[in-house]
């Protein structure tokens, strides 16, 4: 008799807990594109690679210190891609490199300077 009462109580608790659970949130965590910056073998440039979750436009823009767009490039329209960018033609100073892909925006601050007779750069953390 004790076992049947315990079993009935257990079933009652389990049955009500099923109805008491909350519904999952409607906002689904969308997968984001993976964007990476890689240095080139020479110090005068960098590469940007995008591993896309879905086909779509990816754009690279470089702004000067006054927020003027000085360079705009379509990185990829469809699948994943990679492009390299040289800093040889940039003046010494600070720049912002912006990558837009799948409604995701990544911005990095970059400093360009002379290193001997060549241009070099580094990204500011």
Joined tokens for residue 33? 């594109």
Tell if the pTM clears 0.85, that is, is over it.
no
As a whole number of angstroms, the distance between CA 79 and CA 26 comes to 28
pLDDT tens across 11-29, in order? 554 454 444 444 444 444 4
The residue extents of the domains of the chain are: 54-125
Phi–psi pair at 21, nearest 5 degrees? -70, 150
Tell which CATH classification among 2.60.40, 3.40.50, 3.80.10, 3.30.70 matches the domain 54-125.
2.60.40
pLDDT tens across 64-118, in order? 999 999 999 988 787 788 899 999 999 999 999 999 988 889 999 999 999 888 8
């Amino acid at each position: 008799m004790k076992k049947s009462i315990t079993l009935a109580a257990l079933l009652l608790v389990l049955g009500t807990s099923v109805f008491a659970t909350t519904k999952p949130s409607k906002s689904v965590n969308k997968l984001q594109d993976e964007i990476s910056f890689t240095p080139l073998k020479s110090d005068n440039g960098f590469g940007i690679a995008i591993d896309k979750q879905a086909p779509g436009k990816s754009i690279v823009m470089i702004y000067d210190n006054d927020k003027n767009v000085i360079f705009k490039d379509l990185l990829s329209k469809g699948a994943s891609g990679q492009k390299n960018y040289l800093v040889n033609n940039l003046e010494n100073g600070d720049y912002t490199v912006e990558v837009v892909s799948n409604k995701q925006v990544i911005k990095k601050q970059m400093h360009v300077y002379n290193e001997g007779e060549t241009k070099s750069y580094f990204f500011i953390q």
